[in-house]
A and B are shown apart, each in its own frame.
Chain A
Amino acid sequence: MINITYAKYLINENNENCSVEITIDGITKGVPLDEANTDYQNILQWVADGNTIEEAD
């Protein structure tokens, strides 16, 4: 059950994507780009369902 309402990349000092800031079930989280992380697994499923992660500012 995935209830992500917001997802946006965060960049590191080298301007590379390093995390995704998401809001899920009303809580904002910073999720690493690590496929062993269960929140990132949910994000990948959310993207596979047709959603898009916003690029970083």
Chain B
Amino acid sequence: MSTIEVNKITPVSGGTTIQVGESGDTITVPSGATITNSGTANNFTSYRPNAKPLIINGDMNVAQRDTSVTGITGDGYKLCDRWYEYLSSLGTYTFAQESQSIHNPAGGAGFRQAFRIDCTTADASPSASDEFWFGMKFEGQDLQLIKKGSSNAEKLTLAFWVKSNKTGTGQVNFRDTDNGRMCSGTYTISSADTWEHKIINIAADTSGAFTDDNAESLQIQWYLDSGSNYEGGAAPTAWETDVATDRNAAGTLNIGDNTANDWSITGVQLEIGEYTSSTLPPFQHESFADNLDRCHRYYISYGNVGTTQSGFPARAYSGSGLMWAVTLPKPLRASPTVTLTGTIRAFGSSNTHDSTSAFGVTSYANTNSTIVMLQSTGFSGLSNDRSYNVMAINDTFYTLNAEL
């Protein structure tokens, strides 16, 4: 095989195209070689095995629960859909879905909403077991394309926009909760109060396959602060058995140490493969409707907004018990927890009955079903086997939660 050594091939004078080979030829790129996009080349698509973004609501556009929550001292899903925070005795916070100007770097990149965390009560000396992290949990059946636990395991790339009043190093952990394994990366906030785009590469793991089911298999954690139980080790850049002291070993942000502190994030994307800032595929923007549709697998809110009432036909099965079927916009991940805020009113032919308690799920046949049976035994004066119409009244809402 002959070899041509040149630095550049250009078209002949006056031309704009270069042809390589003939129709039917095979053009081979050797194993281990890399074809790189300059970052601005057109029609240069990356191989992406996932049709939809692996991170749901990475642009923080959907916030069914609330758009601003104050006084947060504990863990849970509080604000933007799918985004979870773990907080254990390490200050008090306000979370807000924050609009971004089209003229700032994140807004200009197409991310007009961000998840903002503000410290409102500081804890500059956390106890050893205290911790605060922000993140997302994934179903194992959605991660099988990573092929973790096999010789074909894929590397991963996590990219996101971040901003804080504090400069320093943040640690991000990928925690395999099926097998108790962990791999980490770090990012540096170089300029205070300035949106910066960060990219973290995660090694492939040939040990510990994700379980192929609807339960949690992976957490991505952005550590924001912690006590000594989560510090003192080293952030692992190769997968290892989960070690508590490694989880925030490299983190220096300590967002809980002052009420002046804030931390914001948006534009989160997770890609199969190893990318740099110049080769990263573009964020997969979805319409708001498509984004909300995917969030509905985990959380749905029903209820009264202003004067609009949502009604469902119901049947009384006792003087206090009423059951009704709710049609879901899509199947839930699992049978949901039901939370009622306000009053559910049952309208009969000539009277009404209210319930504010004893609200639950009678049955959810299977996780491919779009019907869930709800009930309440908090009514009184119902007539057995009579039909009623149940409605959420006066700003009442109830939620179905099937989050991980």
Chain A residues close to B by CB (< 8 Å): 1, 3, 10-13, 18-21, 25, 27-32, 34, 36-40, 56-57
Q: How large is the interface on B (under 10, 10 to 19, 20 to 34, 35 or more residues)?
A: 20 to 34
Annotate B316-342 by CB proximity to A: 1 below 8 A, 0 otherwise. Answer: 011001010000000001111111100
* A30/B75 contact (C-beta < 8 A), A10-B358, A18-B363, A21-B359 known: no
Q: Is B74 interfacial (CB 8 A cutoff)?
A: yes
Q: Which residues of B contact A57 (CB under 8 A)?
A: 377
- In the complex, given contacts A12-B317, A13-B317, A32-B336, what are 12 additional A-B residue pairs having Cβ atoms less than 8 angstroms apart? A10-B375, A12-B323, A12-B362, A19-B360, A21-B360, A28-B339, A31-B337, A32-B360, A36-B333, A37-B334, A37-B335, A38-B403
Cβ < 8 Å to A, chain B residues 169-223: 214-216
* A30/B88 contact (C-beta < 8 A), A3-B74, A36-B214 known: no
Q: In the complex, how many angstroms separate the beta carbon of A9 from the nearest chain B beta carbon?
A: 9
Q: What are 5 A-B pairs at a CB distance below 8 A?
A: A13-B323, A21-B357, A29-B337, A32-B335, A36-B335
Q: In the complex, how many angstroms separate the beta carbon of B57 from the nearest chain A beta carbon?
A: 18
Q: Which residues of B contact A56 (CB under 8 A)?
A: 377
Chain B residues close to A by CB (< 8 Å): 74-76, 88, 214-216, 317-318, 321, 323, 333-340, 357-364, 367, 375, 377, 401-404
Q: Which residues of B contact A3 (CB under 8 A)?
A: 74
Q: Which residues of A contact B74 (CB under 8 A)?
A: 1, 3, 25
A28 to B404 alpha-carbon distance, docked (Å): 19
Instruction: Check B360–A28 contact: CB distance below 8 A.
Output: no
**Chain A residue with minimal CB distance to B356?**
A28
* A11/B377 contact (C-beta < 8 A), A32-B335, A37-B336 known: yes
Instruction: Check A10–B377 contact: CB distance below 8 A.
Output: yes
Instruction: Check A31–B214 contact: CB distance below 8 A.
Output: no
Instruction: Check A34–B335 contact: CB distance below 8 A.
Output: yes
A52 to B357 alpha-carbon distance, docked (Å): 20
**Chain A residue with minimal CB distance to B339?**
A29
**Chain A residue with minimal CB distance to B341?**
A27
Q: In the complex, how many angstroms separate the beta carbon of B403 from the nearest chain A beta carbon?
A: 7
How many A-B contacts are there with CB distance less than 8 Å?
Answer: 84
Cβ-defined partner of B338 (8 Å) among A12, A25, A29: A29
**Chain B residue with minimal CB distance to A9?**
B360
A18 to B403 alpha-carbon distance, docked (Å): 20
Cβ-defined partner of A21 (8 Å) among B216, B358, B402: B358
Instruction: Check A31–B321 contact: CB distance below 8 A.
Output: no
Instruction: Check A32–B357 contact: CB distance below 8 A.
Output: no
A40 to B361 alpha-carbon distance, docked (Å): 12
Q: Which residues of A contact B323 (CB under 8 A)?
A: 12-13
A28 to B177 alpha-carbon distance, docked (Å): 28
Q: Which residues of B contact A19 (CB under 8 A)?
A: 338, 360-362, 375
* A28/B375 contact (C-beta < 8 A), A13-B321, A37-B335, A37-B336 known: no
* A18/B318 contact (C-beta < 8 A), A12-B375, A30-B337, A37-B335 known: no
* A28/B357 contact (C-beta < 8 A), A10-B377, A13-B317, A13-B318 known: yes
Instruction: Check A34–B375 contact: CB distance below 8 A.
Output: no
A56 to B378 alpha-carbon distance, docked (Å): 12
A20 to B336 alpha-carbon distance, docked (Å): 12
A57 to B321 alpha-carbon distance, docked (Å): 12
Instruction: Check B334–A30 contact: CB distance below 8 A.
Output: no
